[in-house]
Amino acid sequence: MESSPDRSEIEVHVSSYEEEACSGSFVSHRLDHETRTQGPAVLFESNGSGVAIGDLDDDSDLDIVLAAMIGDSTVLWNRGGLEFTSQRIAHSGRAVAIVDVDADGLSDIVLSRGSLPPLLLRQEVDESGAEFVIQAMRGVDAAAYAMDWSDLDSDGDLDLVTASYDAELNVSAGRTAGGNRSGVVVYENVDGAFVGNTIVDSSHALAMLVRDLDGDGSSEIWIGNDFGFPDVILSHSDFGWVPGTLPRSTTMSTMGFSTGDIDNDGVAEIFATDMRPTSDDPETAAAWQPVFDSMQGGAPGQEMANALYRNHGGDGLQNEAVGLGLAATGWSWSAKFGDLDHDGLLDLYVVNGMMAMDVFPHLPGGELVEENVALANRGDGFVPRPEWNLNSISSGRGMSMGDLDGDGDLDIVVNNLNSPSELFENQICGGDSLEVELVSNRPVVGSVLTLYTSAGTLTRELTAVSGYLSGDPTTAHFGFSKVAEVSELTVSWPLGQTTTITGLAPNTHLRIEAAFVPDGESPAP
């Protein structure tokens, strides 16, 4: 193992996977949580809530946090073997993230709340166990629907970006910003307090992406707006945050973002969900007609369809969703990439459905019933995989992926609306894998991990939030074929350090613990 710079301490712990069950598909498990509406669903209430997966208690087992629009959110503590202990959190939420807000080494929970500023559930641990202390984040004062976390100023702590959903604030009866500002706000984390800067006065954000979009080493902010309002890309300059250039072809109502290197060229693609039926048969057309009628027009370049943005260097981001078979997946919410079948290529899972009496009065219960869609990456495009049994019709909203049973493959959790949440256990049992868990005294969000194999090079980036309102674990998952040999792993940490590990074995879990010494400080004795 090699690490640079020298002012760091790296420990690597290797463990084997648990024994896996092999049925050739996914198996559904009902979870002890249900996100419900107050009555028959209507617009905006029909948007549901997110889910986050992460290791809350530092035992290398991934826990689950399920937000609820109304009533209690739920923490599911992972006890192993897909057994969970439920803990109710007496607060509702829309987006949810698991991050260490105060850099004390303990994972906290953050809930966005639509018309109110986000709420911090700060974790404290003593002899009796873990407890979440509910508190506001100092300086965070804007109404927030979507959010993301990133070390934007490279000072070793996580900054926060929030965006309001003004369509809900302005239209829904009884919902206002309560005197809180709205729009897009960047909060710099300064010694545990947040200093906010409004960079866009108004937004209709269902989604947000904070990533380095052009490879220049600094992050851009992409706001995914609903209702035909154009998306906004912002880049940081000497003059602050300034508007960037959108791709020529974009979604019309951006519901979620996911990133992943689908062609293993070292550059991540960006997937954005929207609404487009998978069939043009008369029954489907009749069900969707009110949506078609209300979504006429839009800004130039917008299309009511998903987008897959690929970076073409000087030509910028190009939408290639149609050619890859990704343009139409239904009324789509959260979508995420992951190698579900361990063939070395990132697949895609999309959750679908909509219910709103004021949008679909002609449908039973006001519900557009749609299947979730699993799409396998075949190198030159994506094809549906109904045999994976991921075609739930429970009206999914938030969704995230992670190895919840410790057997080396990606399981899936979906926060449904007006139906119990679901965990889909991966029993495909194809190929091999390597999992890499990062633990550090500095944020690991933004770390880029590169695995070199005899079949090609695989790249993953750790993110705090992706898809629709849903948080991601700080564990990277690599799938590859059984004949591929793994030779080297490189971790590029957010502050510029690199760690290289050799002597790798497939089907193992690596826990990399890194203690970085800031400039001007001495290493601990």
| Phi-psi sector, 443: left (phi>0), alpha (psi -120 to 50), beta | beta
CA distance linking residue 484 with residue 478, whole number of Å:
12
The answer as to whether 436 is a domain residue is: yes
Model confidence pTM above 0.85:
yes
By the 8 A CB rule, do 186 and 161 touch? yes
Average pLDDT over residues 318-326: 98
Average pLDDT over residues 347-358: 98
Confidence tier at 126 by pLDDT (50, 70, 90): confident
The answer as to whether 457 is a domain residue is: yes
Cis peptide before 5 (omega within 30 of 0): yes
Q: Where are the beta strands (DSSP E) in 212-268?
A: 220-225, 232-237, 240-243, 250-251, 256-260
- Secondary structure tally for the chain: helices H, strands E: 3, 44
CA distance linking residue 515 with residue 512, whole number of Å:
10
- Tell me the two tokens of residue 356: 């709103």
The answer as to whether 523 is a domain residue is: no
Q: Which residue type sits at 182?
A: S
Q: Is the pLDDT of residue 314 over 80?
A: no
The answer as to whether 209 is a domain residue is: yes
Q: Is the pLDDT of residue 193 over 60?
A: yes
The answer as to whether 419 is a domain residue is: yes
The answer as to whether 521 is a domain residue is: no
Residue 76 CA to chain centroid, in angstroms?
Answer: 18
pLDDT in tens, 7-63: 679 999 999 999 999 999 999 999 999 999 999 999 999 999 999 999 999 999 999
Which structural domain, as residue segments, surrounds residue 245? Answer: 2-516
The answer as to whether 522 is a domain residue is: no
The answer as to whether 525 is a domain residue is: no
CA distance linking residue 248 with residue 2, whole number of Å:
43
Q: How far, in Å, are 151, 253, 323, 368 from residue 320 at the CA level?
A: 30, 17, 6, 27
- What is the pLDDT at residue 298? 82
By the 8 A CB rule, do 337 and 410 touch? no
How many domains does the chain contain in total?
A: 1
Q: Is the pLDDT of residue 64 over 80?
A: yes
Counting residues of the chain whose pLDDT is more than 90, the rounded percentage is 87
Domain of residue 460, CATH code? 2.130.10.10
